[in-house]
Amino acid sequence: MVVTTERDDATWYECEECGLLFDLEHDAEEHEQHCDSEGPSYIQ
Ligand SMILES: [Zn+2]
């Protein structure tokens, strides 16, 4: 899921799965569709 977050007087779109930040909602949504991370601790 993509969530919005305010940072540095700007709105960012964050991938809730892995925490990546995007400045475009479209980019975040597109990333999320391909994101296969199951959480912040994805290192195995
Ligand atoms: Zn992600």
Question: 12-25 pLDDT, tens per residue?
Answer: 999 998 999 999 99
10 C-alpha to ligand 1 centroid (Å): 20
The rounded distance, in Å, linking the Cα atoms of 36 and 42 is 9
Question: Given this model, what pLDDT does residue 24 score?
Answer: 96
11 C-alpha to ligand 1 centroid (Å): 17
Question: Given this model, what pLDDT does residue 39 score?
Answer: 56
Q: Residue 9 is encoded by which pair of tokens?
A: 């007087």
Question: Given this model, what pLDDT does residue 7 score?
Answer: 87
Domain segments of the chain as ranges: 2-34
2 C-alpha to ligand 1 centroid (Å): 9
Query: Predicted confidence band at 38 (pLDDT cuts at 50, 70, 90)?
Result: low
What's the whole-number mean pLDDT along residues 30-39? 84
Q: Who surrounds ion ligand 1 at CB < 5 A?
A: 15, 17-18, 20, 35
The rounded distance, in Å, linking the Cα atoms of 36 and 44 is 13
